[in-house]
Amino acid sequence: MLDSEMHNLQNCIAACQEAIRACQTCAAEDIRAGTSLCALINLDCSDICTATMNAMARNSLHHGDFAAVCAHVCRACATACSVHAEIHAHYAACQIACEKCASECVKHVKERHI
């Protein structure tokens, strides 16, 4: 793998890590507040970001496949959180982190092997 390709993977891994943190925080805040506005999509997004990050870290041949699903779920999560982003900062932070993660993941979709 070229250094530039590895750098791109590292950027995506970092974006996944940030999305995981933001999604976990958003889900926890929803649960603490007794709502479920975004909790389920946050947990789904956190899970796929974790799986994608792990696939990229081990340089899996299928990292592009993970990235495609991750981009899709991150966009869905960002959309869900955007509805409430003006109400609480954790929604806005999650929206931003998920949008960035989707943007980074899209760069790797062309590397799909399925």
Give the pLDDT confidence of 59-83 residue by residue, as tens digits: 899 999 999 999 999 999 999 999 9
pTM for this one? 0.91
User: How many whole angstroms separate alpha carbon 13 and alpha carbon 19?
Assistant: 10
Q: Pull the structure tokens for residue 39.
A: 């909790």
What integer is the mean pLDDT of 101-109?
Answer: 96
Percent of the chain, pLDDT > 70? 91
Q: Pull the structure tokens for residue 46.
A: 């956190």
Please count the CA atoms within 13 angstroms of the CA of 26 that sit on its side-chain side. Answer: 36
Give pLDDT, residue 2.
44
What integer is the mean pLDDT of 73-97?
Answer: 96
Give pLDDT, residue 6.
56
pLDDT category of residue 96 using cuts at 50, 70 and 90: very high
Give pLDDT, residue 3.
45
Cβ-based burial of 2 (10 A; exposed 0-12, middle 13-18, buried ≥19): exposed
